[in-house]
Chain A
Amino acid sequence: MAKYLLLKHYRHSGPKPVPGTEAMMDQWTPEEITAHIEYMNRFAEKLVESGEFVSEGALSPEGTFVRYDGEGRPPVTDGPFAETKDLIAGFMIIDVESQERAYEAAAELSAAPGQGGRPIYEWLEVRPFFAELQATAE
């Protein structure tokens, strides 16, 4: 088994959105939003049932950059930056048998219904976690 992070972005510098899917959620109808949320909840439940769910979370779009500024000094903060190219909306961590299965799960997440009940065709970023080094690998 291997763990993968499925990243949802508000915005990203990856591939261009599929034409016709650009409308943000605030332009959907309330029913469309509910259908979307229900799909996402059901997706997570299915992953628990299949023994593949690890964790999920949603992130506020407003964030701040923070760094160390020397001994005894308070942290330095910067932002928020309205125009950053990459903005993460949320994540899901899954523990699956293969990379193919991770992609399959990501594609299912990407098929969540959006405007008009059509799949949103959203690009998900799939990143493998580092594993433990195998005991016999030497």
Chain B
Amino acid sequence: MHTGQVNDLLRTLAPQVLGILVRRGADFAGAEDAVQEALIEAVQHWSDSLPDDPKAWLLRVAGRKLIDAQRSEAARRRREQRVHDEPPPGPTEQSDDTLLLLSRCCHPALSPASAVALTLRAVGGLTTAQIARAFLVPEATMAQRISRAKRTIAGERFDTPGDVRAVLRVLYLIFNEGFTGEISLADEAIRLTRQLVAAEAAEPVRMDPEIAGLLALMLLHHARRDARYTASGELVPLDQQDRSRWDTAMIAEGVAVLQDALARDRLGEYQAQAAIAALHDDAPTADETDWPQILEWYDELARLTSSPVVALNRAVAVGQVDGPRAGLAALGDVDPGLARWDAVAAHLYERADDVGRAIQHYTAAADRATSAAERTHLIKQAARLRAQA
């Protein structure tokens, strides 16, 4: 079997096996370590031939690792019997476990960074080394981040799912980490969110449409990833992207997921943001973008959240619908302390044919950029206008 396929299989099975161990009464931190060790063993053994029942194999090995660890720990000597005596899991429990594990890994007591790391390891089935590389920190640092997170939630009960909104925030953070590197964290976030959607579908009463809203949001942004950068890594703004490079199948899926969510009539931030992304994705050319509808969604979003970033993006939409002067008037009400404020001002001044002010704001925006790609892009905008002037 191909190494990639083995890894994919392992990453699907890891949270299932962890869920079973935890529900049988194993403590989360110990079970999580045991599953990691079993994964490492599986990678060594499975590349030649796959066991008949990979999940049972993994459960058996992880169970043995757990018992070994517990044996060596006198204080926990009694627990192994409890793990052994529990009945085997029923067929429906896998979907329940996803939410159970995710809500514990995203517990509100954890810092966002700890929750992200723990989620990627315990539910995403990634190794500490892979997570460390994805975040460009040493493995020892990431190992500490994960074990601290586990200590923080030690003693938390694992029998009822926690706050699903906290889980969504963590998945959103993982998605926003981007597409670069050996592990695409955006793909990883989509995979985990899909699992959560599937888990919730089993219990439609509890179903929060924001889960589907977040999945739609991710898909509708991710569909544009290939058009977003040039081969040399420079940023291509939305209105200049080659739309033939957008992933139309992913857009179609995102739109379908969003429509289902909206039909449940409980609007939230993720659904509203996804609706805006869908309207961008839907336009055959930048000029055909339905800005009046986008502005309506920003008004909706502004009612849902007091986020200054929403107010900033809304000013862009106002500029498209009512003209750049109206956009600048809307911008006047937005906190100029935001990093992208000058970039929006520059764009609006340029459209208002005030080249001098546009150059000034593009230059200021470049100095305040928080990513190298943005900085280069903004410097080039200022340079382009200077060449024209």
Q: Which residues of A contact B (CB under 8 A)?
A: 1, 3, 47-55, 95, 97, 128, 130-138
Instruction: Note all chain A residues with C-beta closer than 8 A to B111.
Output: 97
Contact segment of B33-41, B53-61, B176-184, B203-211: B176-184
| A-B pairs under 8 A by CB, number | 81
Q: In the complex, are the beta carbons of B175 and A136 less than 8 A apart? A: yes
Q: In the complex, are the beta carbons of B228 and A51 less than 8 A apart? A: no
Give Cα A47 to B148, complex, Å. Answer: 12
Q: Which residues of B contact A (CB under 8 A)?
A: 111-114, 117, 135-138, 140-142, 144-146, 148, 172, 175-180, 186, 217, 221-222, 224-225, 228, 235, 237-238, 273, 340, 369-375
Q: In the complex, are the beta carbons of A135 and B144 less than 8 A apart? A: no
Q: In the complex, are the beta carbons of A54 and B141 less than 8 A apart? A: yes
Q: In the complex, are the beta carbons of B373 and A133 less than 8 A apart? A: yes
From known contacts A52-B141, A130-B372, A133-B371, infer whether A138 and B238 are also in contact, taking CB-CB under 8 Å. Answer: yes
Q: In the complex, are the beta carbons of A135 and B142 less than 8 A apart? A: no
From known contacts A51-B144, A97-B113, infer whether A136 and B176 are also in contact, taking CB-CB under 8 Å. Answer: yes
Instruction: Note all chain B residues with C-beta closer than 8 A to A97.
Output: 111-113
Q: In the complex, are the beta carbons of A48 and B141 less than 8 A apart? A: yes
Which one, A1, A54, A135, contacts B178 given CB within 8 A? A135
Instruction: Note all chain A residues with C-beta closer than 8 A to B135.
Output: 1, 95
Q: In the complex, are the beta carbons of B370 and A130 less than 8 A apart? A: yes
Q: Nearest chain-A residue to B229 (Cβ)?
A: A133
Which one, A3, A51, A52, A130, contacts B369 given CB within 8 A? A130
Instruction: Note all chain B residues with C-beta closer than 8 A to A131.
Output: 370-371
Instruction: Note all chain B residues with C-beta closer than 8 A to A50.
Output: 144, 148
CB distance from B324 to the nearest CB of A (A): 19
From known contacts A48-B144, A51-B114, infer whether A135 and B222 are also in contact, taking CB-CB under 8 Å. Answer: yes
CB distance from A41 to the nearest CB of B (A): 15
CB distance from B263 to the nearest CB of A (A): 23
